[in-house]
Amino acid sequence: MSLYRIANLLVDIEYKYKDFSGRYVQYAAEEDGTPAFKVLATDKEIEELRRKAPNLDIDSCEYLILGSNFYEHLLDHDGMMLHSSAVALDGEAYVFSASPGVGKSTHTQLWQEYFGKERTFIVNDDKPAIRFVDGKAYAYGTPFSGKFDISENVGVPIKAISFIYQSPDNKIEPMPQSKAIASILNQTIRPANINGMDKVLNAIEKIVATVPVYSLGCNISHDAVKLSYSVMSGKKII
C-alpha cells in the first residue's frame, strides 16, 4: 500500500509504470492510517484507453486513468475537479477556467509576473481539486497537473472563479448562476452513471452558492491582471 495525502485526504494509489512516479513524491504521506479510498488502473481500463487513443503510451494511459478515478472518488468527499489554473496570492486562491488553448495558464503566469513569485504561486495548473472544508471551498494541488506538472501540495481558500475568453479589450462581469453551473459542468468530469452525475451537480451547486463566479474577457497583458484582481478581490491596486 502506497499512501499519499492529496486534498487533505489519505489516499492509496497503486501504479505499475514509472514515467509519472515523480509527480507523486511531494504528496507522499508522512503518516500511516486507513485511506479514504484507493485508486488504481486495471489492465482492462488501460487497454480500452489505448484502443481509443493509440497515440498514448501505456504510462500515460495509466496516469490519466488514475487521475480520473481519483476525481470520481473525490465526489464522495465534498470535492470535485475543475479544469483550470489556480493561482494563490496572499493566502487566497483565484481560479481561472477555460477550454485548452484559450490562455488560462498564460493569465496565471502574468499574475506571477505582476505580483512577483514571492507573493504568488500556482496551486495547480490544470486540474486543481476543489474541496469544501468547514463549509469553505479550497483549491488543492494534486499530482494530476497537466503536461508541465505545475502543482503544490497545499490547500488555499478560494476567493473567486473566472471563466476566461479571449478579447482585445479587458472586461469582467459576474456570471449568472445558471450560466456558472453550465460552465463548471463543461470543465469537469462527467461520470457515466446517474448517481455520479448527481454528485457532480450537487458539488457544482454548492460552489456557485458560496464562491463568486465571473466571466473574464482578456488579452495577454498586466492590465488584464489588474482588472481581474481588483474585481475578484474587491481591492484596488494602488
The alpha-helical segments, DSSP class H, found in 29-85 are 43-52, 58-74
| pLDDT tens by residue, 172-184 | 999 999 999 999 9
Report the pLDDT value the prediction gives residue 173, as an integer from 0 to 100. Answer: 98
The domain locations on the chain are 3-77, 80-233
Residue 227 in this model has a pLDDT that exceeds 70: yes
Q: What is the pTM of this model?
A: 0.95
**Segment 20-29, tens digit of pLDDT:** 999 999 999 9
pLDDT in tens, 146-169: 888 999 999 999 999 999 999 999
CATH 3.40.50.1970 is held by the domain 80-233: no
Contact (CB, 8 A) for 209 and 136: no
Distance separating the N- and C-terminal Cα atoms of the chain: 52
| Section 77-97 average pLDDT | 97
Average pLDDT value for residue range 40-44: 96
Helix axes 194-210, 177-186, angle to 10 degrees: 130
All residues at 6 or more sequence positions from 60 whose CB lies less than 8 Å from its CB, including other chains: 19, 20
CA distance 172 to 162: 9
**Residue among 139, 149, 148 nearest 74 (CA):** 139
